[in-house]
Structure 1
Amino acid sequence: MKVQRLARWIGFAVLPSVLCVAMEAKAPAKNAHTGWKLVWNDEFNGPDGSPPDLAKWTYDTGGRGWGNKELESYTSRLENVQQRGGNLIITARKESYTGLDGIERPYTSARIKTQGVFAQTYGRFEARMQLPLGKGIWPAFWMLGEDVKTASWPACGEIDMMENIGEPDVIYSTLHGPGYSGAKGISQRFLLPAGEAVNTGFHVYAVEWTPNDIKFFFDDKLVVERTPKDLPAGTKWVYDHPFFLILNVAVGGAWPGNPDETTTFPQKMLVDYVRVYSR
């Protein structure tokens, strides 16, 4: 995350439109990783056109820029988030929309989270996704400390498993905490293997988190490993309490920039599954 992305939650706080890979066979949920036990998951196998399972997910809604100068208004409408073809589909649309906050915005999208429903300390957290792609399109799979409302950001901690800002072969994996947030976030730019792209197929984005170690993975390839030794002098490792999950597609913002004439809409992020394991 860059300096412009101060406090994602403040204010509270491509895939081509043709779903070319949406119907590929889905692997069953299982303990696919030696030494890990599956403890929570969503396979998004609900009926076509149904919303996310509200026993597992809640919504962030509104159009307040989210601390990042984003342009979209997040909604809970089926036009922006639904299950279809065994996937969760988050759709960013170009349309004028006024949400319950009374602010008219030129784009809509969705942001769902497990806050208040599920959180966990340590484990393996992974999602298999096919990303949208375009100038000003900003998909992310990330986590915030469950104590965000009391400790505030960045003291609560943030783990960004994956962010993309329109580069087909690049993702970013970042930690944010007190004294190392915004432009000072501990970030890794990862170049995908030759021939791979975020928007042409599904890939697995994951972290494996233990008391003094966080490893980021792309398709089980290690992206980077972080420990307390990576923190700036005098700062605190705050990854010792429950975190909740977030999936969203932002439009615009100071970091990715805004859409331009090359950006097509709608933009869709497909999520095959989200799975959480413990040792």
Structure 2
Amino acid sequence: MRGAVAFRDDFTNAHLNPNHWITQVTSGTGWRNEFQVYTNDQRNLYIKNGHLYLKPTLTIDSGHFTQHDLYHGVMDVKKTWGTCTYAPNRGCLRDAKDGLLLPILSARIDSIATLKYGQITVRAQIPRGDWIWPAIWLMPKHSIYGPWPKSGEIDMMEAACNEHAVWDNGQKVGIQRVQSTLHLGTDHAHDHQVYDWAFKSKGDWHDFHDYKLYWTPDHVIMSIDDQVITRMDIPDGSTVWDHYKLHGTNPWKHGTKIAPFDQEFYLILNVAVGGTYTMFGDNTHYAYPKPWSNNDTDPAKNFWAGRHNWLPTWHGDDVAMIVDYVEMRHL
């Protein structure tokens, strides 16, 4: 039915519904090389007062690892948390001789429900705290056009949650900014991004807001509290490939005009920390020198060594992404 609710979760039960969500448990941080392990620990993923919390904590506070372990131990994810959902990139087993064990534990969940065209609303509050990187995003269920970025990625919301992060031009790009991005392209080296930002001139985004995706065979629109941030409009007679004047071999020649965004996607909610990606640029000005650089051989080690600066900015549940509800509607 047009506009019918395809999926909704208000997080009113005591625990996350396993029929709605897959809880990722892995230390495989991917090419962004982030500093967290995703766990199923109730300190990282829990429901309280009708809200879902995805909260980063310190690995040494878990009861499983000591400070000594970070530098000299082994992290067996399945042994520690009972399962491992993603093995690549040292996702199930890490040895400190290959680099500091990841110093942060956090949470990521993937929706079992998928959507192809319609509207997704996530009402959520992003964290506050240095180097915290929350995201509300979607990935293709079957990747019918090939591996990333050929089959696309939809990032409804990403943020760098530092209180103080400023570009040379004076623009505040910490918690005063949220970003929405579409990724598409022929390979990792040719990731075409369609993106924009929403800035707060006063205050910040650390409050509840409605993050929305409106998606049709003609366009993809992402908004915050109905303020449009990023949009893709593909006119009749054109295609994504032609519209953005992309080069190489078109992986979407057998798709519709909005391909790769003409297939089923699932929703992801996660809170990452750090990483060697442009979310935390080396040339951005922070409240203190960034403790790692994006070309470090062991960035997590340098991040951890600088905790005397960033840990005082982490306060209780403020570091969590708090989700009120998630809703998917058919077009």
The TM-score bracket by the shorter chain reads 0.7 to 0.9
In structure 2, relative to structure 1, the CA distance for the partners of 1:87 and 1:77 (3 Å cut) is same
Specify the SS of the correspondent of 2:178.
strand
State which of 137, 141, 148 in structure 2 corresponds to 1:146: 141
d(CA) in 2 for partners of 1:146, 1:271: 23
Quick one: which amino acid aligns to residue 198 of structure 2?
L
Contact 1:170 1:189 in 2 (8 A): no
d(CA) in 2 for partners of 1:185, 1:274: 28
For 1:42, the equivalent position in structure 2 comes to: 9
State which of 215, 218, 221 in structure 1 corresponds to 2:227: 221
> How many residues are treated as equivalent by the alignment?
239
Specify the SS of the correspondent of 1:241.
coil
1:272 aligns with 2:324: yes
State which of 183, 188, 191 in structure 1 corresponds to 2:198: 191
Quick one: which amino acid aligns to residue 322 of structure 2?
L
After TM superposition, the runs of 4+ consecutive aligned structure 1 residues lying more than 6 A away are none
1:171 aligns with 2:170: no
1:58 aligns with 2:22: yes
d(CA) in 2 for partners of 1:142, 1:38: 19
- Deviation of the 1:60 alpha carbon: 1.8
Contact 2:127 2:321 in 1 (8 A): yes
1:250 aligns with 2:250: no
Query: Structure 2, unaligned stretches of length 5 or more?
Result: 66-74, 79-91, 95-100, 162-173, 234-239, 253-258, 281-291, 293-302
For 2:118, the equivalent position in structure 1 comes to: 123
Structure scoring higher RCO (CA < 8 A, sep ≥ 6) equals 1
- Deviation of the 1:274 alpha carbon: 0.6
TM, length-normalised to structure 1: 0.78
For 2:244, the equivalent position in structure 1 comes to: 231
Specify the SS of the correspondent of 1:275.
strand
Contact 1:179 1:232 in 2 (8 A): no
Quick one: which amino acid aligns to residue 102 of structure 1?
L
In structure 2, relative to structure 1, the CA distance for the partners of 1:148 and 1:111 (3 Å cut) is farther
Query: Structure 1, unaligned stretches of length 5 or more?
Result: 1-34
Specify the SS of the correspondent of 1:270.
strand
d(CA) in 1 for partners of 2:216, 2:145: 24
Greater percentage in helix:
2
1:87 aligns with 2:23: no
Contact 2:148 2:187 in 1 (8 A): no
d(CA) in 1 for partners of 2:50, 2:144: 33
Larger Rg: 2
Specify the SS of the correspondent of 1:67.
helix
State which of 53, 59, 77 in structure 1 corresponds to 2:41: 77
Deviates more, 1:254-263 or 1:170-179: 254-263
- Deviation of the 1:94 alpha carbon: 1.6
Contact 2:27 2:102 in 1 (8 A): yes
Quick one: which amino acid aligns to residue 310 of structure 2?
T
TM, length-normalised to structure 2: 0.66
Specify the SS of the correspondent of 1:46.
coil
Contact 1:130 1:270 in 2 (8 A): yes
1:158 aligns with 2:153: yes
The C-alpha deviation readout for 1:223-271, integer Å capped at 9, x for no partner, is: 1221336534245430111000000000111123465513434521100
- Deviation of the 1:153 alpha carbon: 1.8
Quick one: which amino acid aligns to residue 110 of structure 2?
K
1:262 aligns with 2:284: no
- Deviation of the 1:198 alpha carbon: 1.7
Contact 2:145 2:260 in 1 (8 A): no
